[in-house]
Amino acid sequence: MVLTPDLSSRHAAMVPTPSASPRAIVTFLTPAERERVDAAGYGCYTTLHRENLDDLLVDLRTQPVSAVVVSVARYQQQHAPQMARLVREFPRVPAVALLAANETRTTHALLALGQHGIRSLVDVREPSGWRDLRQFVTREDENGIEPIAIQRIRQDLAAGSPDTHRFFEALFTAPRSLTTVRDLSRLLGVLPTTFMSRFFRAKLPAPKQYLAAARLVRAARLFENPGYSITHVAFLLEYSSPQSFSRHVHHVMRMGAADFRQQFTGHGMLDRMRHDLVLPYLEVWPSFEALTVTPQWIVRRVK
């Protein structure tokens, strides 16, 4: 059985997923296991099957990966250095051992994987194991910073308007390719000029400050994986270059990217965002209507 934290709330159904495409997982499996993992994940996840752990590490550095699945049957002692490196450098990427058959070396392989830091096991010798695998891939994402951020800000803004909650949810559920306020306003269904002017009228910071802070929350979370360099994080968050990312960090935080990495975790950057951009405006959020087609202040004026 796979145990994961329960971050659900009464608002969970209102939170869209970051992307409509299935999550991507990378695997180190036997040929027979690959076919069964592909079939079990149809519509739930996509698989990147690798012949060696070095290629798997490359995938982790160069593209978003939701989970790693390692075959107990395929693991050998010579894989120990790469497996230890995987767990050490990417602690925030969930990894699971897949047990598909009993062999004489199964117990030894399981113990070795556990010593390397693989804490989750999915036993697919029974049909229910494939359900457990799907749940592992989908639920482990709840350990990501995005659902945590949405939950904490909802708690901060319990009295916030529907527009307020929708705005903050969009900041943390939008795909990483969304990098401008113009794109964010289109996603929310409001004209960019209208969107920005409503923040100005409400005496709130500009929406670009919220978007910039949310992107840095995601960056700080990625930096919790020592295997990611500044270049890797810039690539994964779709900045035009590492230099562009560093300039962005300096502009927002008044520090270099290396210092930012040392000083902020995902939770720490989220707290900074809440302290600077959310909590000082608690009296504004209950009546905030940035996304309403016809705000109430216009309706009152017409009447």
Among 73, 67, 79, 77, which residue's Cα sits nearest to residue 100? 73
Strand order of the β-sheet with 45-49 is: 45-49, 23-28, 67-71, 95-99, 120-123
Let me know: does 169 contact 134? Beta carbons within 8 Å. no
Asked if 179 and 245 touch (Cβ cutoff 8 Å), the reply is no
Per-residue confidence (pLDDT) for residue 44, from 0 to 100: 86
Give the model's pLDDT for residue 140. 52
Q: What is the mean pLDDT of residues 175-202?
A: 92
Query: Residue 75: pLDDT band by 50, 70, 90 thresholds?
Result: very high
DSSP symbol at 49: E
How large is the average pLDDT for residues 88-108?
91
Q: What is the pLDDT of residue 12?
A: 34
Closest residue by Cα to residue 238 from 178, 170, 172, 173: 178
133 neighbors 33 (Cβ within 8 angstroms): no
For 232-270, what is each residue's pLDDT tens digit? 999 999 999 999 999 999 999 999 999 999 999 999 999
pLDDT at residue 153 greater than cutoff 50: yes
Characterize 105-125 residue by residue with b for buried, 16 or more Cβ atoms within 10 angstroms of its Cβ, and e for exposed: eeeebbebbeebebebbbebe
Q: Is 169 exposed, middle or buried (0-12, 13-18, 19+ CB in 10 A)?
A: buried
Residue 37: what pLDDT?
A: 95
- DSSP run (H or E) holding 216: helix 207-222
Alpha-carbon gap, residue 119 to 102, rounded angstroms: 19
Confidence of residue 177 (pLDDT cuts 50, 70, 90): confident
Separation between Cα atoms, residue 207 and residue 181, nearest integer Å? 7
* pTM greater than the 0.95 cutoff: no
* Nearest residue to 18 (alpha-carbon basis) of 258, 254, 178: 178
The CATH code of the domain at 12-143 is: 3.40.50.2300
**Structure confidence at residue 144 (pLDDT):** 83
Cβ-proximal residues to 42 (8 Å cutoff; 6+ apart), any chain: none
Quick one: CA dihedral 241, 83, 52, 98, positive or negative?
negative
All CATH 3.40.50.2300 domain ranges of the chain, comma separated, are 12-143
Among residues 38, 51, 122, 46, the alpha carbon closest in space to that of 82 is found at 51
